[in-house]
Structure formats: C-alpha cells, structure tokens
Amino acid sequence: MIQALYAAADHAGLLKEAVWSPSDSSAPQSAKVDFRAPDETVLDGLGLSTDYSIRYPAATFAGLVSGESLTIEGVTYRVREIRALGDGSEKRATLTRL
C-alpha cells in the first residue's frame, strides 16, 4: 500500500531523488523521497532556520542510520535521527545540511 502511494506521488512530480552512499563502502542506493525544508522562526522572530527531513517507505534505504549522508538535488545532508511512522511501513529522517 505505501509503495503504491509513493508511486502515485512520484508520478505527480511530488518526490525528489535521494542518493545514499553507505559508509560501509557498499554500492550507492537511490530512491524517490518526500523531501521537506520548512522554515522555522528562531530567536523570537529574529531569524529563520530550515528543518530538513525526508519521508520514505521503510523498505527503501533499509540500512540507513544516524550519521550517514544523503545527496538530494546536488546538496549533501547528514542524517540526524530516523523514526518509524504509523504502523512502521514509513520512516522519517531529520537531516542537517552540510
């Protein structure tokens, strides 16, 4: 079910290509993910900070862990935290732009 939802989102042009090069030197993996970069107000409104994250099916990037790097649209991000969503068929990874 989650794979069909992501296939439909990809067909509608809502997903971005992410490339993960595992730190164990295994082959790079690529997948379409829901990339988000919403701005958040910080310092009592004096500045903006962007909270980067991706959502993806749990079967995608199965070995991805905190500290690994991803490239999305030519920009490199480090994975800060990964959490399972709902019934565990989808995951959310928070990212830091490098």
| Per-position DSSP letters for 27-74, written without gaps between them | PPEEEEEEEE--EEEETTTTEEEE-EEEEEETTTTTT--TT-EEEETT
Q: pLDDT band at 76, cuts 50/70/90?
A: very high
Residue 46: its pLDDT value, please? 66
What pTM was estimated for this model as a whole?
Answer: 0.86
Its CATH architecture, for the domain 2-97, is Beta Barrel (2.40)
Residue 47: its pLDDT value, please? 67
Q: CA 26 to CA 58: how far, in whole Å?
A: 19
Average pLDDT score over residue span 6-35: 94
Please give the share of the chain, as a percent, with pLDDT higher than 70. Answer: 89
Residue 67: its pLDDT value, please? 96
Cβ count near 35 (within 10 Å)? 21
pLDDT in tens, 44-68: 766 666 789 999 999 999 899 999 9
Q: CA 76 to CA 95: how far, in whole Å?
A: 10
Residue 37: its pLDDT value, please? 86
Residues making up the chain, counted from first to last? 98
Residue 83: its pLDDT value, please? 96
